[in-house]
Amino acid sequence: MDHHHAHAHRVDLVVYPGFKALEAVGPMSVFDYANVHLRQHGRPDGYAVRVVAARRGAVPSDTLMALDATHTLAELEEEGSAGCTVVLVGSRNIEQVLAASPELVDWAARVAPHVPRMIALCSGSFFLAAAGLLDGRRAATHWSVAAALQQRYPRIAVDADAIYVRDGHLWTSAGVTAGIDLALAVVEEDFGHALALEVARDLVMYLKRPGGQSQFSVPLATQTTGHRGVQAVQQWVLAHLAEPLGLAQMAAQAAMSERHFRRVFQQETGQSPSAFVEAARLEGAKQLLEAQGGLPLKTVAARVGLGSEQALRHLFVRRLGITPQAYRERFGGQARKDRP
């Protein structure tokens, strides 16, 4: 071990065939840049990153890239992990990986209690969940599998909007690039705000990303239920956002009593009719703000049935943590200033 790494904190990056390449390389780059900046300040390296897998050698990712595992899971367990951080990377096909790699779940269950910081990125949270480690805890995962995680492991408090969650020594993140956000938070915890900010600037990243991951999720139209009646109402809501969309209107559309409709809707979608309408209005407003042309905010609010610019602003700040204007500037095809 060279002089720079003599007192570095060990980070063991755990991969397996089909891991998400960007999820592995993103945090790895954060820790590498942290070392660069520490050296510039005349300090020793803070992190020594190793790639760990079931077997040594090249491990193929979900892209053309492979990572060379220099250590095995068994070795990591034998040598002890008292002073290290373990990072479990996610996969696009987490169901297949879980079925094919039950030993990885067992390994996580044995190692986690002895690790100061156990991190699961994206769908990697399923490894910790299957090991029973997240029961009674809050956790994040990729928005596309958040419902599946919650359904399969009801004792976990899944935060479907969080970029990352820290609960005790267990950290979990949302999908792909969110692993970078989490790694920056680790650097901030270990070496302070100033160093983490230097690394974030190098990566052209927000140190603390505004808003949650819901702003990146797929349109609501693709998240509908298989129940034909409820599905028809959802599609009707999406097509009539500018109109009043109370429980009475939706129940009439479904030809059900209000009480029965509310119960069926909740049962089929996991949310109340009013929560769906709010989410649909938010989604509609996001699409209008992303479009070219730059409609005035008052017009955007009217088109999604929110009534006023203030109501639109309140919804965005409450749900996404940013104003509609800030959302347009970040994601819009053409930023414009809204005139009073």
Residue 111: inside a domain, yes or no? yes
Tens of pLDDT, residues 193-203: 889 989 999 99
Q: How far is CA 220 from CA 126, 172, 286, 295, in A?
A: 24, 25, 12, 22
Q: What is the pLDDT of residue 7?
A: 74
Tell which of 216, 243, 263 closes a domain: 216
Rounded-to-integer distance, Cα 72 and Cα 16, Å = 11
Strand boundaries in 61-182, DSSP class E: 66-69, 71-72, 84-88, 117-120, 138-139, 157-158, 164-167, 170-173
Q: Do 150 and 171 sit in the same domain of this protein? A: yes
| Structural domains of the chain, count | 2
Q: Do 124 and 63 sit in the same domain of this protein? A: yes
Rounded-to-integer distance, Cα 338 and Cα 325, Å = 8
Q: What is the pLDDT of residue 231?
A: 84
Tell which of 165, 186, 216 closes a domain: 216
Q: What is the pLDDT of residue 115?
A: 93
Q: Do 208 and 224 sit in the same domain of this protein? A: no
Q: Do 325 and 286 sit in the same domain of this protein? A: yes
Q: Quick one: DSSP state of residue 113?
A: G
Strand boundaries in 43-167, DSSP class E: 47-53, 57-60, 66-69, 71-72, 84-88, 117-120, 138-139, 157-158, 164-167
Q: Do 171 and 231 sit in the same domain of this protein? A: no
Token code pair at residue 201:
């600037």
Tell which of 216, 234, 249 closes a domain: 216
Residue 40: inside a domain, yes or no? yes
Q: What is the CATH number of the domain that holds 104?
A: 3.40.50.880
Q: How far is CA 22 from CA 15, 28, 65, 104, 151, in A?
A: 12, 10, 10, 21, 27
Pairing mode, if any, of strands 84-88 and 71-72? unpaired
- 251, 236 in Cβ contact below 8 A? no
Q: Is 144 exposed, middle or buried (0-12, 13-18, 19+ CB in 10 A)?
A: middle
Q: Do 209 and 265 sit in the same domain of this protein? A: no
264: enclosing H helix or E strand: helix 258-269
Q: What is the pLDDT of residue 176?
A: 84
Tens of pLDDT, residues 118-165: 999 999 999 999 999 999 999 999 988 998 999 999 999 999 888 999
**Diameter over CA atoms, the chain:** 74
Residue 315: inside a domain, yes or no? yes
10: enclosing H helix or E strand: strand 9-14
Residue segments in the chain with a per-residue pLDDT below the cut of 70:
1-6, 81-82, 210-211, 214-226, 333-340
Q: Do 180 and 278 sit in the same domain of this protein? A: no
Residue 97: inside a domain, yes or no? yes
Q: What is the CATH number of the domain that holds 306?
A: 1.10.10.60
Q: Do 308 and 166 sit in the same domain of this protein? A: no
Q: Do 56 and 195 sit in the same domain of this protein? A: yes
Q: Do 255 and 188 sit in the same domain of this protein? A: no
Residue 272's domain comprises: 220-331
Q: How far is CA 106 from CA 10, 28, 78, 111, in A?
A: 22, 25, 15, 9
Q: What is the pLDDT of residue 5?
A: 54
Q: What is the pLDDT of residue 235?
A: 83
